Chains A and B, each alone.
Chain A
Amino acid sequence: MAQAPKPIASPVPEAWYPSMAALMLVFGLVFTASFFIYEATSSRKNRSIAKELTTGALASVFLGFGSLFLLLATGVYV
Chain B
Amino acid sequence: METRFALFFFFFFFLLIALLSTPVFSDLVITKVDRKIDLTSHIVRISSSLKVENAGPDVVSQLLLTFPEYQAKKLAYLTASSAEGKGKSKGSSANLPVEVVQPEGVPPALTFYSVSLPRGLGKGESLNLDVFAVLTHSLQPFPEEITQADVQLVLFQDSAHYLSPYEVKAQVLSIKLPSPRVESFTKIQNTKLVDSEIKYGPYENLPAFSYSPIIVHYENNRPFAVATELLREIEISHWGNVQITEHYKLEHGGARTKGGFSRIDYQARPNVRGASSFRRLIVKLPPRAHSVYYRDEIGNVSTSHLWADSRKTELEIEPRYPMFGGWKTFFTVGYGLPLHDYLFESDGKRFLNVSFGSPIAEVVVDNLLVVLPEGSKDISVSVPFSVKQWEEVKYSHLDISGRPVVVLEKKNAVPEHNSHFQVYYKFNSFSMLREPLMLISGFFFLFVSCIIYMHADLSISKSSASYLAKLQWYEVQATVQKLHEIMVRCLTVHDKLEASLRDLSRTGDVQACKAMRKAADSLLKDLSKDLKPLLVFLQSSLQAAQIYQKVEELVVKEKELQEKLMSKHTMVVDAYEKKSAGRELENRIAALQQKLTTLRQEVDDLIDVIDEI
Contacts and interface: CB of A to CB of B under 8 A. Distances in A.
A1 B346 contact: yes
Given A1-B347, A8-B344, A35-B447, A75 B442 contact: no
Given A10-B339, A43-B474, A65 B440 contact: yes
For the residues of B in contact with A, the DSSP-based class is helix
Interface in B417-450: 429, 432, 435-437, 439-444, 446-448, 450
Contacts of B436: 64-65, 68
Residue of B243, B339, B436, B443 with most partner-chain A CB within 10 A:
B443
Contact of B444 (A39, A60, A75): A60
15 contacts: A1-B346, A5-B351, A8-B345, A9-B240, A35-B450, A39-B450, A46-B482, A60-B441, A63-B440, A65-B440, A72-B240, A76-B397, A77-B237, A78-B239, A78-B435
A6 B346 contact: yes
Contact of A49 (B441, B451, B475): B451
B336 interface: yes
B475 A61 contact: no
A43 B439 contact: no
Contacts of A28: 443
Contacts of B336: 75, 77
B474 A44 contact: yes
B460 interface: no
B454 A68 contact: no
Nearest to B346: A5
A31 B506 CA distance: 43
Interface of A: 1-12, 14, 28, 35-36, 39, 42-47, 49, 52-53, 55-57, 59-61, 63-65, 67-68, 71-72, 75-78
B447 A64 contact: no
B237 A78 contact: yes
Contact of A78 (B345, B351, B397, B477): B397
Interface residues of B, number: 47
A31 B482 CA distance: 25
Given A8-B344, A64-B436, A43 B477 contact: yes
A57 B454 contact: no
B291 interface: yes
B241 interface: yes
A75 to B, nearest CB: 6
B346 A4 contact: yes
Given A64-B442, A67-B439, A59 B482 contact: no
Contact of A3 (B237, B347, B482): B347
Contacts of A64: 436-437, 439-443
Contacts of A46: 478, 481-482
B502 interface: no
A45 B477 contact: yes
A60 B444 CA distance: 5
B239 A2 contact: no
A19 to B, nearest CB: 15
Contacts of B346: 1-6
B398 A78 contact: yes
A2 B240 contact: no
Contact of A10 (B239, B345, B444): B239
